[in-house]
């Protein structure tokens, strides 16, 4: 048996469990699309598109420590640090690589890593790669300082990207030991929550907080970053393999991201529309008998349990021109397959109602 035959067998098992995934060859078109994390609808904003035309080059040409350093990177890092209220920021080519690099660099200063059970895969992979002793705690139930072992690196999301709930960041910070570190993934919160969309850690001036963020969600561009005290950033420049050995992000993207940050900071009107549409959806779901958090976060899960049920629900929504993607294990825990609805500021009342009508028809059929 060749390795290709073994691959086919492995794919057969994935199909048997209802977890097979395919890439579509064409950009999909729907009447109502609830699949993207472009929460503020900035990715297609004319000002973002125009920004891409005012750059001198596309590719960076190399790693930042070699020939890939460009003024656009430094200016974006300055803007990011100012926005979220941290001393410095460091740009990575993706949030995934930012997580891997930061966790591996910080793990050497911790005896144990404490990780929320619902953390994103990038955080999980960074923790595994660090080879530091770890404890996975039940979602949002971090053990108190008295029950933790020595110096702790606590890793958690502020707004969880699959369930749409948030952490009490202040409570966690108040329970940190003097030598503890909190790596807070604000990927889904930035642009959406906090003053000027600066996230849930904004206003908590504590050097034990390290913020992980992305630029491909509410900011409407691409890339990731780590923000925190200046010595931490210097450490990452010198010790983070996913920074040192990775080609720097394209200057054109960095420039567009600066425009996105500026727009996100001043987007209170968009945040208001986003909350209004989210409230409309959550109230509608409750009226149909679906459980829905009493929250104004734009991630709205419709949990149905079994993988095939989630796929069937998605396909039947697609027949009505509505795309609400099915999310299955291993992205979410077994038995919690769902439609993951992502709200955007440019969704209309009619689009929200179209989704609710589709769900109502399916529920009664």
pLDDT tops 70 at residue 198: yes
Mean pLDDT calculated for residue range 335-354: 95
pLDDT reported for residue 46: 94
Q: What percent of the chain has pLDDT over 70?
A: 99
In whole angstroms, what is the distance from residue 290 CA to residue 284 CA? 9
Share of the chain above pLDDT 90, in %: 80
Q: Which residue has the higher pLDDT, 57 or 350?
A: 350
pLDDT band at 29 (very low <50, low <70, confident <90, very high): confident
Question: d(Cα 338, Cα 332) in Å, to the nearest integer?
Answer: 9
The gap from C-alpha 96 to its chain's centroid, in whole angstroms, comes to 9
Q: In 3D, which of 147, 146, 46, 101 has the Cα closest to residue 245?
A: 101
Mean pLDDT computed over 273-302: 93
- Predicted confidence (pLDDT) per residue in 221-251, tens digit: 999 999 999 999 999 999 999 999 999 999 9
Using pLDDT thresholds of 50, 70 and 90, give the confidence band for residue 30: confident
Task: Give the residue-averaged pLDDT of 175-181.
Answer: 97
Distance (Å, rounded) from C-alpha 326 to C-alpha 324?
7
Q: How far apart are CA 149 and CA 64, in angstroms?
A: 37
- Does residue 260 register a pLDDT over 80? yes
DSSP sequence for 94-145? -HHHHHHHHHHHHGGG-SEEEEETT--HHHHHHHHHHT--EEEEPTT-PPPG
Mean confidence (pLDDT) of the chain: 94
pLDDT at 365: 60
pLDDT confidence of residue 278: 96
Report yes or no: 199 and 189 within 8 Å, Cβ to Cβ.
yes
Tokens 């929200």, residue located: 352
End-to-end Cα separation, the chain, in angstroms: 46
pTM over 0.85: yes
Q: pLDDT higher for 58 or 258? A: 258
Asked if pLDDT for residue 118 goes beyond 70, the answer is yes
Q: CA 256 to CA 220: how far, in whole Å?
A: 9
> Can you tell me whether residue 345 is helix, strand or coil?
coil
Rounded to an integer, the average pLDDT of 320-340 is 92
Taking phi first (over 0 means left), then psi (-120 to 50 degrees means alpha), and beta for anything else, what does residue 203 get?
left
Whether residue 265 contacts residue 220, with contact meaning beta carbons closer than 8 Å, is answered with no
pLDDT at 210 over 90: yes
| pLDDT score of 364 | 64
Domains in the chain, CATH or no CATH each: 26-42+268-364 (3.90.1150.10), 46-265 (3.40.640.10)
- Quote the DSSP letter at residue 230: H
Predicted confidence (pLDDT) per residue in 14-25, tens digit: 888 888 888 776
What is the arithmetic mean of pLDDT over 173-182? Answer: 97
pLDDT at 97 over 80: yes
Specify the pLDDT at position 177: 96
């Amino acid at each position: 048996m060749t390795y290709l035959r073994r691959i086919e067998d492995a794919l057969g098992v994935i199909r048997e469990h209802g977890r097979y995934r395919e890439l579509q060859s064409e950009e999909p078109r729907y009447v109502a699309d609830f699949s993207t994390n472009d929460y503020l609808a900035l990715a297609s904003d004319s000002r973002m598109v125009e920004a891409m035309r005012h750059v001198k080059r596309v590719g960076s040409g190399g790693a930042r420590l070699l020939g890939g350093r460009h003024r656009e990177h430094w200016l974006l890092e300055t803007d990011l640090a100012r926005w979220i209220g941290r001393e410095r920021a460091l740009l990575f080519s993706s949030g995934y690589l930012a997580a891997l690099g930061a966790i591996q660099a910080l793990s050497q200063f911790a005896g144990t890593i404490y990780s929320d059970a619902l953390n994103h895969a990038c955080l999980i992979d960074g923790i595994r790669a660090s080879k530091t002793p770890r404890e996975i705690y039940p979602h949002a139930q971090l053990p108190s300082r008295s029950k933790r072992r020595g110096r702790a690196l606590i890793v958690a999301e502020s707004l969880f990207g699959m369930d749409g709930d948030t952490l009490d960041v202040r409570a966690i910070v108040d329970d940190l030991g003097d030598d503890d570190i909190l790596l807070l993934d604000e990927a889904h919160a930035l642009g959406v929550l906090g003053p000027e969309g600066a996230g849930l850690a904004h206003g908590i001036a504590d050097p034990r907080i390290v913020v992980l963020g992305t630029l491909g969600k509410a900011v409407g561009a691409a890339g990731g970053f780590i923000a925190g005290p200046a010595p931490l950033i210097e450490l990452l420049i010198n010790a983070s393999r996913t920074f040192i050995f990775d080609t720097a992000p394209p200057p054109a993207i960095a420039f567009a991201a600066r425009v996105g940050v500026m727009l996100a900071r001043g987007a209170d009107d968009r945040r208001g529309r986003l909350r209004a549409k989210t409230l409309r959806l959550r109230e509608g779901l409750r009226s149909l008998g679906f459980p829905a958090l009493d929250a104004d976060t734009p991630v709205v899960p419709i949990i149905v349990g079994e993988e095939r049920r989630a796929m069937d629900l998605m396909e039947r929504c697609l027949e009505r021109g509505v795309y609400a993607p099915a999310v299955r294990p291993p992205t979410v825990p077994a038995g919690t397959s769902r439609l993951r609805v992502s709200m955007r500021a440019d969704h209309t009342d009619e689009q929200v109602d179209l989704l609710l009508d589709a769900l109502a028809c399916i529920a009664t059929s």
